[in-house]
Amino acid sequence: MGGDVSLANNGGFIQISLDLAPDGEPFDASGWLGFEIDVYGKSDEYDFRLRTSELSQPWQSYRQSFVAEPHWETVRLPFDQFKPHRIDKPLNVRLLRRLGLVAIGKAFSVDLGLGGIRLFA
């Protein structure tokens, strides 16, 4: 993922996202503990966001941040550490629909290498 995040005109972001089921249906991840990602960066912070079929507004998600260091590393993102954003429901991992990696919150040149995303048990 690359590009520039600008704070002009009330801010901005860069995102890559993935539907977890090809038909847009919910994906049941209850047999897993979370996601792990292989990343390489420049010591910048990013968000890993999850959406479920229970969410109706684009600003709602479950979020966990991570830092992509200047070497390849595997970052674990346990489900129990995702925080709800602008929603009062806890994360229901039986209803996962979409995931996203987001650069937001400061003006910077995004340089994030992604080698893999997978579930872990």
Q: Token digits for 19? A: 């539907």
Q: What is the pLDDT of residue 7?
A: 54
> How many residues are there in the chain?
121
Picking from 51, 1, 48, the residue whose alpha carbon sits closest to that of residue 21 is: 51
Read off the pTM. 0.87
Rounded CA-CA distance 56/51 in Å is 9
Cα separation, 6 vs 99, in Å, equals 23
Nearest alpha carbon to residue 89 among 60, 119, 59 = 60
Q: Give the residue numbers spanning the domain of 36.
A: 2-120
Q: How many CB atoms lie within 10 A of CB 34?
A: 19
Q: What is the CATH number of the domain that holds 23?
A: 2.60.120.430
Is residue 69 very low, low, confident or very high in pLDDT (cuts 50, 70, 90)? very high
Per-residue pLDDT reduced to its tens digit, 21-31: 988 899 999 99
Mean pLDDT over 52-79 rounds to 96
What digits encode the pLDDT tens for the residues 4-13? 655 556 566 6
**Residue carrying structure tokens 């991570």:** 66
pLDDT per position as a tens digit, 70-116: 999 999 999 999 999 999 999 999 999 999 998 866 665 777 889 99
Q: How many domains does the chain have?
A: 1
For residue 12, give the amino acid letter: G
Q: What gap in Å lies between CA 78 and CA 64, rounded to an integer?
A: 9
